[in-house]
């Protein structure tokens, strides 16, 4: 949530910043509502003060045997006015809250305006692999190597799913274990959160109210609950409504969860295999920091994600996203994109973002500033570290051999029981 005072004091600046996210807003009605609310609030406070004073006299007058009926009558009439004002104020409050909470986060100043077309690749790692044979695409490879069973997935679940089988399951698990071991080395705390979350959690993350349709909702829970689209949704809420000690910051977490996404109708024909699905595995890195340290934390997260892909030996690039391509809740996002030879494009395997205080305001997540002794909002950052579904296509395609076998990245070998290569199988 954007700071209401920022909008109040500098509406033009906020309007221009949001324009970079392709978001056109008119604040004039909001500003009027805020002004009106403050005025009513003041009037109401005076009435309440009077009521409190009158009421507190009652026991004293009673003791001395005086008449209290006239006070009762006065307070009753004051209460009528208070009731009216209370209602008007809470209606205005609702309107203001609904308007402001629907606004996206402000983009950082240095971002280019506009959408995808203005994303900039800022770093490239490794080179595109060269094949002296006709390379296969990952769907063929995964099937011939017995890593993925698409047909049976369609049978037991439906479209947009797949089943990791045998060495495919082991490869997937090896990736996750490799990431986990790296995060532990870096001193991040391992979290396994619940996958079913309440509405409030989605609101704090900034998914709701705008993106309610993008997640799966459970039908028979009261109140309604949804299945998390990313571990971020759980991790943002870990410290919801808490005041953290500055000495405990930064707090560094990582979590493994599957990610469940509706994405109905978003399939494209070229996105076969495991490029886009209703469910995929991801390890999420997460930090709560002071505002002063969030840029540093952001660099750390991007570098960590890059190192993981680099460790696998894959060719990839890092893109700085234009304002309009950053997520709704984020001030800044860098994507790590891995090369998929058969598609001839780079596909996102990690997205590192700085939400600054946007999510912290929604979730009331603060820390006690040691120097001023004031409570301030934390900055919150997240980065995939990493999402695995698109790594397997990248690995099998980039590391395939002429005979259809695939070399296992060195860093994964210990997690594959020493296995260094996966060879084609006859179909079972």
Partner RNA sequence: GGAGAAGUACCCAAGUGGUGAAGGGGCUCCCCUGCUAAGGGAGUAGGUCUGUAACAGGGCGCGAGGGUUCAAGUCCCUCCUUCUCCGCCA
Going residue by residue from 362 to 391, which x/- string records binding to RNA, judged by CB under 7 A? Answer: ----x-x-----xx----------------
Residues 6+ apart with CB under 8 A from 11: 27, 31
Name the residue nearer to RNA (CB basis): 62 or 423. 62
C-alpha dihedral (53, 54, 58, 61), degrees to nearest 10: 100
Residue nearer to RNA on the CB measure, 55 or 161: 55
Q: Among 58-66, 132-140, 321-329, 404-412, which window interacts with RNA (CB under 7 A)?
A: 58-66
Q: Does 75 engage in binding with RNA (CB under 7 A)?
A: yes
Calpha distance 319→326 (Å, rounded): 11
| Binding of residue 19 to RNA (CB under 7 A) | no
- With CB under 7 A, what is the number of residues at the site for RNA? 31
Q: Which residue in the set 9, 10, 32, 42 belongs to the binding site for RNA (CB under 7 A)? A: 42
Instruction: Please give the residues from 338 up to 367 whose contact with RNA meets the rule CB under 7 A.
Output: 366
- 85 contributes a contact to RNA by CB under 7 A: no
Alpha-carbon span 337 to 347, nearest angstrom: 5
391-398 vs 294-312: helix crossing angle, rounded to 10: 40
CB of 407 to RNA, least distance (A): 38
- One DSSP character per residue, 296-353 reads HHHHHHHHHHHHHHHHHT--EEEEEPPGGGS-TT-SEEEEEEEEETTTTEEEEEEEEE
Site stretch for RNA (CB under 7 A), options 70-78, 101-109, 133-141, 254-262: 70-78
- Write down the least CB distance from residue 193 to RNA, Å: 14
- CA dist 246 and 373 (Å) reads 10
- The SS3 call for residue 206 is coil
- Grouping H, G, I as helix, E, B as strand and the rest as coil, residue 284 is strand
Shortest Å, Cβ 84 to RNA: 12
- Binding piece for RNA, criterion CB under 7 A, among 66-74, 135-143, 303-311, 401-409: 66-74
Contact between 193 and 235 (Cβ < 8 Å): yes
291 or 311: whose CB is closer to RNA?
Answer: 291
- The residues of the shown chain that bind RNA, judged by CB under 7 A, are 5, 38, 41-42, 44-46, 48-49, 51-52, 54-56, 58-59, 62, 68, 71-72, 75-76, 79, 90, 222-223, 243, 366, 368, 374-375
């Amino acid at each position: 949530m954007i700071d209401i005072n920022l909008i109040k004091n500098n509406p033009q600046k906020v309007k221009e910043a949001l324009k970079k996210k392709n978001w056109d807003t008119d604040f004039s009605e909001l500003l009027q509502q805020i002004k009106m609310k403050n005025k009513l609030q003041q009037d109401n406070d005076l009435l309440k003060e009077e009521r409190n004073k009158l009421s507190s006299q009652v026991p004293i007058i009673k003791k001395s045997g005086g008449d209290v009926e006239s006070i009762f009558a006065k307070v009753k009439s004051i209460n009528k006015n208070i009731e009216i004002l209370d209602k008007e104020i809470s209606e205005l409050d609702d309107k203001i809250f609904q308007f402001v909470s629907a606004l996206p986060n402000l983009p950082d100043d240095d971002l280019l305006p506009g959408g995808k077309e203005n994303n900039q690749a800022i770093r490239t790692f490794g080179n595109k692999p060269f094949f002296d044979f006709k390379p296969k695409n990952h769907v063929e490879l995964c099937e011939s190597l017995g890593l993925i069973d698409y047909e049976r997935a369609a049978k037991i679940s439906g479209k947009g799913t797949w089943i990791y089988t045998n060495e495919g399951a082991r490869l997937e698990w090896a990736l996750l274990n490799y990431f986990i071991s790296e995060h532990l080395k870096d001193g991040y705390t391992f979290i396994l959160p619940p996958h079913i979350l309440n509405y409030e959690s989605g609101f704090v993350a900034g998914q709701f109210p705008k993106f309610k349709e993008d997640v799966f909702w459970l039908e028979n829970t009261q109140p309604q609950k949804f299945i998390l689209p990313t571990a971020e949704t759980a991790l943002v809420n870990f410290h919801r409504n808490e005041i953290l000690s500055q000495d405990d910051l930064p707090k560094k977490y990582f979590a493994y969860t599957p990610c469940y996404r509706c994405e109905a109708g978003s399939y494209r024909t070229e996105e076969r295999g495991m490029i886009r699905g209703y469910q995929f595995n991801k390890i999420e890195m997460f930090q709560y920091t002071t505002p002063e340290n969030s840029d540093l934390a952001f660099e750390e997260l991007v570098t960590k994600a890059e190192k993981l892909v680099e460790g696998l030996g894959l060719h990839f690039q890092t893109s700085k996203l234009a304002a309009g391509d950053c997520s709704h809740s984020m001030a800044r996002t860098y994507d790590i994109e891995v090369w998929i030879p058969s598609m001839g494009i780079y596909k996102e395997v990690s997205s590192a973002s700085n939400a600054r205080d946007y999510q912290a305001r929604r979730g009331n997540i603060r820390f006690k500033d040691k120097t001023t002794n004031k409570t301030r909002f934390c900055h919150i950052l997240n980065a995939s570290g990493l999402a695995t579904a698109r790594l397997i296509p990248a690995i099998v395609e980039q590391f395939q051999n002429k005979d259809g076998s695939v070399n296992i990245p060195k860093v994964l070998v210990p997690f594959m029981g020493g296995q260094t290569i996966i060879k084609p199988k006859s179909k079972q």
